[in-house]
């Protein structure tokens, strides 16, 4: 009975680690000598999408990302500006890669004794990159990337979560003292 409980706990830990491996990760980088706190207004940069750009093929997700970025930035105190040049422009890109998840569930002595069970899962990893461009100098001053698995199920929730994490980190970075 004790072995069954230990095996159950180990199985649960393995499942949780698999979920953690596929969770969204966020990375940011910015020009630390630039005062991001002066930014108040924004607009979207004019972007020409190439034929191999995933967003060129998927106008639904392109619009989801754009609207979510706009609403999250507005909720964070930034104002969309169309009439006069804004303080910063927002550009965003999506890339995808096929990934493999290899798991070895072997037990027993290697090779001749015991059992080996190797599981291979293929999944698609997507990366949303958001660039903040100072409109006065036309220089990129902040970049954020959110990466995670792509599944059509609940894609709008994943986009919202990724954009929320990126905007939240942008707000934190813009409040850091130089």
Read out DSSP for 4-24?
HHHHHHHHHHHHHHHHHHTS-
Task: Kindly state the helix (H) or strand (E) to which residue 30 belongs, with its residue range.
Answer: strand 25-30
**Which of 175, 89, 72 lies closest to 138 in space, CA to CA?**
89
pLDDT digits (tens), the chain, 178 positions: 554 443 333 333 333 333 434 468 999 999 889 999 999 999 999 888 888 778 778 888 899 999 999 999 999 999 999 888 999 999 999 988 888 888 877 665 655 665 667 788 888 888 999 999 999 999 999 999 999 888 878 888 999 999 999 999 999 998 876 5
Q: Which fold has domain 25-174?
A: Double Stranded RNA Binding Domain (3.30.160)
Q: Read off the DSSP letter of residue 176.
A: S
pTM above 0.85, yes or no: no
> Which two tokens mark 73?
């930035």
Q: How far apart are CA 129 and CA 131, in angstroms?
A: 7
- Contact yes or no for 163/68 (Cβ under 8 A): yes
């Amino acid at each position: 009975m004790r072995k069954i409980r230990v095996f159950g706990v180990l199985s649960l830990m393995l499942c949780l680690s698999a979920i953690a491996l596929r969770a969204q990760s966020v990375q940011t980088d910015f020009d630390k000598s630039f005062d991001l706190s002066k930014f108040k207004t924004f607009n979207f940069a004019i972007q020409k999408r190439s034929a191999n750009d995933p967003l060129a093929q998927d106008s639904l997700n392109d619009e989801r990302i754009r609207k979510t970025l706009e609403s999250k930035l507005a909720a964070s105190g930034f104002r969309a500006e169309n009439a006069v040049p804004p303080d910063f422009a927002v550009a965003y890109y999506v890339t995808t890669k096929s990934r493999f998840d290899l798991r070895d569930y072997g037990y027993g002595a290697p090779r001749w004794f015991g059992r080996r069970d190797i599981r291979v899962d293929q999944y698609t990893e997507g990366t949303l990159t958001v660039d903040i461009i100072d409109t006065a100098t036309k220089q990129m001053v902040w970049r954020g990337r959110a990466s995670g698995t792509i599944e059509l199920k609940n894609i709008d929730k994943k986009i919202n979560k990724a954009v929320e994490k990126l905007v939240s980190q942008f707000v934190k970075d813009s409040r850091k003292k130089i």
